[in-house]
Amino acid sequence: MNLNQYAAEKRLALLDDLRKGLPPREGTYDADVLKDAKTKGTPQMGTTRYTPSEIVFEFIYPDPHGTAIVFEVTQTPPERIVFMPVPAWVIENIWQGDISDTHHFEPDAMRLVEELGAELSPNANLKWFERQSAKRRE
């Protein structure tokens, strides 16, 4: 099972619990926030955030007459989560929504693959979980 499938199953199970008025079946959360959120009505799915060692599921309890409550449930995944950055050779070739292949001499291609592989180490990969600025072509 890949990460998207895993997270989707967990998110749907948590949403099912919350819609039934039950506490989340697994994970950590703030019980006081949940108590307040239940007074707002039915939860909706919010965003899912990842760190190398956690998945944070957000559920939004909307309030048409006040402020919505965002309720978070944090779970520990079975494996380390890795962010897969878009390789430089792909970014450089996006034009009007089209993504194309590129051609390189073999030594350059091997270097590019090694650079991408190096980004998967725990220390190098950590930076990708921070907010990234937009990439622009100059």
Q: 14 and 58 share a domain?
A: yes
Report the pLDDT value the prediction gives residue 12, as an integer from 0 to 100.
Answer: 97
Closest of 78, 68, 67, 28 to residue 45, by C-alpha: 68
Q: 68 and 98 share a domain?
A: no
Q: 69 and 99 share a domain?
A: no
Supply the pTM of this predicted model: 0.83
Q: 16 and 46 share a domain?
A: yes
Q: 67 and 94 share a domain?
A: no
Report the pLDDT value the prediction gives residue 137, as an integer from 0 to 100.
Answer: 56
Q: 69 and 109 share a domain?
A: no
Q: How many structural domains is the chain composed of?
A: 2
Q: Is pLDDT of 40 > 70?
A: yes
Residue 136 lies in a domain: no
Report the pLDDT value the prediction gives residue 87, as an integer from 0 to 100.
Answer: 85
Closest of 60, 73, 72 to residue 27, by C-alpha: 73
What is the domain range of residue 96? 88-129
